[in-house]
Amino acid sequence: MLIAAGTVVGASAIGWDLFSPGLSASAAGSYLRPCGDVRISSSWQGHKNRNPPSGEPGTDYAVVTGTQIRAAANGVIVDRKDSTTTATGRYLALRADDGNYIRYLHLQSSTVPLGARVARGQVIAYSGASGFGSDTGYGPHVHVSLWIGGTPLQLGFTNSVDFENYVEVDPYEPPAEDPVPTHQSTTFRWNALLPDDSWYRVPVTAQSFWLAESSASIKETGDLTIYLAATGVTKGFQIRVLAQSLDSSGAVVSTSPQPTVEVPATALTAANSLTYGEYSLPYFLSGPLRLHAQVRALNLGIRVQQVVFKKNFWQS
């Protein structure tokens, strides 16, 4: 059984960045994962095994851009970066009340200011793919790194520990069996002439645009790929997925574009030759959300002949 997060310090943020030897560092099993029970695309050990090893080993949780990130523990926001420069992109750092230090990297945006006191489970940021001076420096995920009893500057950035060893696991959950994904595949002869230079919604069947949907009660996890075959491509076209979050009446309250893939013209640009574009996205959807694809022509006269959509997914 887990132990509740350690000693609670007062609301004051004074001295937050100093080593606090009096605070307990034994929070094992109490931290909240940032986005619930989602796929881990790269483990802490996986980061260490890289060549060269990661400069800040952590856990990568695969979620679509714009997913809510929740604080792992009660604590204070002690660092915040809002630019995409450097490998980290935008990040937040949380000094937990137990004295440990947690960083959330590659954010789309942060929702709490520097110095804010936050509660375990509070939404503190939205996930992204930021890093290396770009909003699309990485595939969409959130990277979480953890240091015990000090800051990364004190302990060394490479001396993080495996956050997954410190997360809360429901003791009443039966042993998890690997979910068996459902495979879905559709082929749609679209035959649509694209308008020039504007995003255009891509149907996946004659009746539907939706790639994946979740609700208050049904979560969906999976990997999806869209293949477009087009003629008339002399410059190129772009593909992206848009995540829409909905209110209880089904109205769209916000949209989050996922990273864009650009498909350049091929050497064969005769009117009848086909150019193929492919877009893949691992995703986790929780709450009223849905995904659809968009295409943007970079030259006049592009006709998308066919849309093939495949996904492997499971719901929980």
**Min CB(46)–Zn ion separation in Å:** 9
Piece of the chain touching Zn ion by CB under 5 A; list 138-146, 239-247, 254-262, 275-283? 138-146
Query: Which one, 60 or 168, has the nearer CB to Zn ion?
Result: 60
For Zn ion, the closer CB: 131 or 203: 131
Provide, rounded to whole angstroms, the least separation between the CB of residue 57 and Zn ion: 8
Chain position whose Cβ is nearest to Zn ion = 143
Closer residue to Zn ion in complex, CB, 88/286 = 88
# chain residues binding Zn ion, by CB under 5 A: 2
Nearer to Zn ion, 138 or 190 (CB): 138
Q: Which of residues 268-307 bind Zn ion (CB under 5 A)?
A: none
- Kindly indicate which of the ranges 25-33, 110-118, 142-150, 190-198 contains the residues binding Zn ion, using the contact rule CB under 5 A: 142-150
The residue (of 60 and 220) whose beta carbon lies closer to Zn ion is 60
Contact residue for Zn ion among 16, 33, 44, 60 (CB under 5 A): 60
The answer to whether 98 contacts Zn ion (rule: CB under 5 A) is no
Per CB under 5 A, the list member of 143, 292, 296, 311 interacting with Zn ion is 143
Residue closer to Zn ion (CB basis): 103 or 240:
103
DSSP labels, the chain: ------PPP-S--TTTTS--TTS----TT-BPPBTBS--EEE-HHHHHTSSSPPSS--EEE---TT-EEE-SSSEEEEEEE-S--TTT-EEEEEEETTS-EEEEEEEEEE-S-TT-EE-TT-EEEEEB--BTTBTTSSSSBEEEEEESSS-HHHH-GGG-B-GGGGB---TTSPPPPPP-PEEEEEEEEEEEEPPBTS-EEEPSSSS--EEEEE-SS--EEEEEEEEEEEE--SSEEEEEEEEEEE-TTS-EEEEEEPPPEEEE--S--STT--EEEEEEEEEEE-SSEEEEEEEEESSTT-EEEEEEEEEEEEE-
Least Å distance, CB 45 to Zn ion, is 12
Residue numbers at the binding site for Zn ion (CB under 5 A) = 60, 143
